[in-house]
Amino acid sequence: MNRQKALLHPAAKPILFMACLLPFAWLLYSALTNQLGANPAEALIRATGDWTLRFICIVLLVTPLRTISNTPALARFRRMLGLFVYFYVVIHLLSYSGFDMGFDVGDVVKDIIKRPFILVGFLAFLLLTPLAATSFNGAIKALGAKRWQLLHKLVYAIAGLGLLHFFWMRSGKNDFAEVFVYAAIIAVLLGWRVQQYLSKKRLLANKIGREQLLN
């Protein structure tokens, strides 16, 4: 079976769905069997933060991979992957609100205002919410494809805020190695988009120039 056919197989989406749930299942299993280490709450908050950032990178990877490998079928997984970003950030937020703040909304609000790195994370969460809410077909129709696409460009701002949140958190410990790995991945993916945009613009300008010469 070729690549394109395999990706279009009815089982492909359920398989990916299960794969995306694996980190959650592993965390749940580790929590229930006391394998999260000396500080389980911190381990849970950090692991779900890591998985949110990883899923952001995976979502940003879909289009370059689809274009470079000439595999249009990859596009059908983007929405599910995007919703998994939201799934992991909601668990991240709930773990923080529950384990660190005892689900006291007043304390959460005070902490978000007091600690800038949490404020930045929360801002990323707020920006992710309209993307998750408009991920179904009805919303695409209601918004119109152009406006929907424009809205979903927010994913780059979200990636930047997620990185800043991570950087700020790690700056207290002067430990930036992992932050730089994610920053490099996101910079390459963003760079690819910019390069694609510029070459499309150049092609269009050349086409217009040629047409003007002919007229």
Token digits for 69? 């490998």
Query: Minimal distance in Å, beta carbon 75 to ligand HEM?
Result: 23
Least Å from the CB of residue 97 to ligand HEM:
7
34 DSSP 8-state letter? T
Dihedral (Cα; 70, 153, 168, 80), 10-degree rounding: -60
Rg (CA), the chain: 20
The pair of structure tokens assigned to 42 is 């911190």
Alpha-carbon span 184 to 189, nearest angstrom: 9
Among 16, 42, 132, 160, binds ligand HEM (CB under 6 A): 42
By residue count, the chain amounts to 215
Binds ligand HEM (CB under 6 A): choice among 7, 27, 44, 53: 53
Give 82 or 121: the residue with its C-beta nearer to ligand HEM.
121
- Binding string, 80-109, against ligand HEM, x = CB under 6 A? ---------x--xx--x---x---------
Applying the rule CB under 6 A, the residues between 139 and 198 that interact with ligand HEM are 158, 162, 165-166, 169
- What separation, in Å, do the N-terminal and C-terminal C-alpha atoms of the chain show? 49
Is residue 127 classed exposed, middle or buried when 0-12, 13-18 and 19+ CB atoms within 10 A define those classes? Answer: middle
Instruction: Indicate the residue among 36 and 112 with the shorter CB distance to ligand HEM.
Output: 112
Residue 78 is a binding residue for ligand HEM (CB under 6 A): no
Any idea which residue has 């983007």 for tokens? 78
| Binder among 20, 44, 45, 60 for ligand HEM (CB under 6 A) | 45
Among 23, 27, 44, 52, binds ligand HEM (CB under 6 A): 52
Contact pattern for ligand HEM over residues 1 through 40, marking x by CB under 6 A: ----------------------------------------
Place of tokens 């701002």: 157
Which one of residues 59, 60, 91, 118 is an interface residue with ligand HEM (CB under 6 A)?
118
- Enumerate the H helices of the chain as residue ranges: 3-8, 12-32, 40-68, 78-95, 105-114, 116-133, 137-143, 145-151, 154-171, 177-214
Contacts with ligand HEM by CB under 6 A lie at 42, 45-46, 49-50, 52-53, 89, 92-93, 96, 100, 112, 118, 121-122, 124-125, 128, 158, 162, 165-166, 169
